[in-house]
Amino acid sequence: MTKIHFNKITILGVGLIGASFARAMRKNGFCDHMTGFGRNTGNLINARERGIIDSFEAEPAAACEDADMIMFSTPVGSFINLTEKSRSAFKKGSIVTDVGSVKGNLVYEMERLMPEGVYYIGGHPIAGSDHSGIDSSKAELFRNAKYIITPTENSDAGALETVSGLWRSLGSNVLTMTPEKHDRIYAAVSHLPHIIAYAIVNAVAEIDNSYLGFCGQGFKDTTRIASSPPELWRDISLLNRDNLIETISIFRKNLDMLEYYLSTSDAEALEVAFKKARALRDGIGPN
């Protein structure tokens, strides 16, 4: 493998993931200069003072000038607009990538928007959490985490190898799949649980707000991701709407079945369903 090195990387969105990526690149000596862009100037100043980025710009196009790699780590809902605003500044031969939780159509739209000779490769590190912001960022965030890369038939082979190699070097377990498959999988194992966590918390508050004060560890674990950033999850949900609606309907069918066993006091069927779920859950490990 050739040595990984970029003269300049632009980080669009210096939050948990963007800042962790910048820290990881710095720590590994993969980049000389990192420039940030984001809506919140105070955050950018903070990131520069801490040495997470080296500089920042008030406009995305200015931030992207002369960059060898442009990393989209803003909420997914902003990718298209940001690309339209900044693509005129993308350098020929540069790589544009992202860490968005939704791929699907977005990947093809991003590809379509790339100037001639600029290579887009979509990716998604499975390393989010209910935490957000640079205070929670760390260089080791991606180590031993899955990283999904979603090339299409239009992807440049060299750019694909560069992005894959980069994430492998950050310690991630790189998995390749189509944008469509990515979105079906993550509708089920990520977007559905978020929607459900938000719905549980709102349901308990509707029953009686004061009940929340009596909860134990189980409730806390089950609803932890309801603390995730609302704007981000609004965008993710809408961008993966059709898959998400389908997974909600299959979830609802499973919930309805458990409720039916309950209402008919079918102890055996209830136990069989619980046992099946436990065996599956145990299969993915404890933490």
Instruction: Note whether 212 binds a copy of itself by CB under 8 A.
Output: yes
Beta-bridge partners for 69: 9, 95
| 281 near a copy of itself, judged by CB under 8 A | yes
Distance CA 104, CA 213 (A): 40
Instruction: Report the C-alpha gap between 1 and 5 in whole angstroms.
Output: 12
What is residue 31's three-state secondary structure? strand
Single out the segment in contact with a copy of itself by CB under 8 A; choices: 7-15, 51-59, 124-132, 157-165: 124-132
Smallest gap from residue 286 Cβ to a copy of itself (A): 8
Compute the least distance from the CB of residue 173 to a copy of itself, in Å. Answer: 11
Q: Which residues, numbered 213-272, are part of the site for a copy of itself (CB under 8 A)?
A: 213-231, 233-235, 237-238, 241, 244-245, 247-248, 250-255, 258-259, 262-263, 265, 267, 270-271
Smallest distance, a copy of itself to C-beta of residue 132, A: 11
CB of residue 189 to a copy of itself, shortest distance in Å: 4
Using alpha carbons only, what angle is made at residue 137 by residues 118 and 232, rounded to the nearest 5 degrees?
65
Q: Least distance (Å) from a copy of itself to the CB of residue 109?
A: 17
Of 32, 174, 175, 178, the one binding a copy of itself (CB under 8 A) is 175
Residues 6+ apart with CB under 8 A from 88: 61, 115
Yes or no: say if 105 and 171 are a contact pair by the CB < 8 Å rule: no
| Interacting residues with a copy of itself between 142 and 171 (CB under 8 A) | 145-146, 148
Q: Strand order of the sheet with strand 6-12?
A: 55-56, 31-37, 6-12, 69-72, 95-98, 119-121
